[in-house]
Amino acid sequence: MSEAPKNSFPPGPGGSTFAFLFGDRRRDPLAFFTKIARDYGDVSQLRLLNFRTLFINHPDDIEDVLVNKARKFEKGRVMKANMRLFGEGLLTSEGDFWLRQRRLAQPAFHRARVAAYGTTMVEYAERAMRGWNSGEVRDIHEDMMEITLQIVGKTLFNAELTRDAKEVGETMEVLLKLAADFGKSILIPLWVPTPRNLRARMGIRRIEKIIYRIIAQKRAEASDTGDLLSMLLAVQDEDGSRMTDKQLRDETITLFLAGHETTANALSWTIWLLAQNPAVEKKFFEELSGVLNGRAPNVEDMPKLTYTANILTESMRLYPPAWGMARLVKEEVEVAGYKLAPGNGVACAQWVVHRDARWFDGPEKFRPERWEGDLAKRLPRFAYFPFGGGPRQCIGNSFALMEATLILATIAQKFRFKLVEGHPVKPLASITLRPQHGIRATLEAR
Which residues contact ligand HEM by CB under 6 A?
A: 75, 90-91, 102, 254-255, 258-259, 262-263, 266, 321-322, 325, 386-388, 392, 394-396, 399-400
Is residue 359 classed as helix, strand or coil in its secondary structure? coil
User: 46 vs 395, which CB is nearer to ligand HEM?
Assistant: 395
User: 13 vs 158, which CB is nearer to ligand HEM?
Assistant: 158
> Which residues partner with 441 through β-bridges?
138, 419
Shortest reach from residue 432's CB to ligand HEM, in Å: 8
Shortest reach from residue 256's CB to ligand HEM, in Å: 9
Shortest reach from residue 108's CB to ligand HEM, in Å: 9
Are β-strands 325-329 and 73-75 bridged in parallel, bridged antiparallel, or unpaired? antiparallel
Q: Give the Cα separation of 46 and 22 in Å (integer).
A: 15
Q: What's the distance, Cα to Cα, between the start and end of the chain in Å?
A: 63
Shortest reach from residue 262's CB to ligand HEM, in Å: 3
User: 58 vs 354, which CB is nearer to ligand HEM?
Assistant: 354
User: 37 vs 144, which CB is nearer to ligand HEM?
Assistant: 144
User: 258 vs 443, which CB is nearer to ligand HEM?
Assistant: 258
Q: What residues contact residue 68 under an 8 Å CB cut-off, 6+ apart? A: none
Shortest reach from residue 384's CB to ligand HEM, in Å: 12
Q: Are 445 and 421 in contact (CB under 8 A)?
A: no
Environment class of 57 (CB within 10 Å of its CB; exposed 0-12, middle 13-18, buried 19+): buried
Q: Which of 36, 60, 34 is nearest to 46 (CA)?
A: 36
Q: Give the Cα separation of 98 and 182 in Å (integer).
A: 24
> Which residues partner with 46 through β-bridges?
14, 53
User: 267 vs 443, which CB is nearer to ligand HEM?
Assistant: 267
Q: Are 34 and 326 in contact (CB under 8 A)?
A: no
User: 200 vs 395, which CB is nearer to ligand HEM?
Assistant: 395
Q: Give the Cα separation of 283 and 166 in Å (integer).
A: 36
> Which residues partner with 75 through β-bridges?
327
Shortest reach from residue 268's CB to ligand HEM, in Å: 11
Shortest reach from residue 74's CB to ligand HEM, in Å: 10
Q: Which of 309, 306, 283, 243 is nearest to 89 (CA)?
A: 243
Q: Which of 165, 154, 161, 298 is nearest to 226 (CA)?
A: 154
Shortest reach from residue 11's CB to ligand HEM, in Å: 26
Shortest reach from residue 400's CB to ligand HEM, in Å: 4
**Which amino acid, 234?**
A
User: 232 vs 443, which CB is nearer to ligand HEM?
Assistant: 232
Q: Which helix (H) or strand (E) holds 21?
A: helix 17-22
Q: Are 388 and 418 in contact (CB under 8 A)?
A: no
User: 47 vs 260, which CB is nearer to ligand HEM?
Assistant: 260
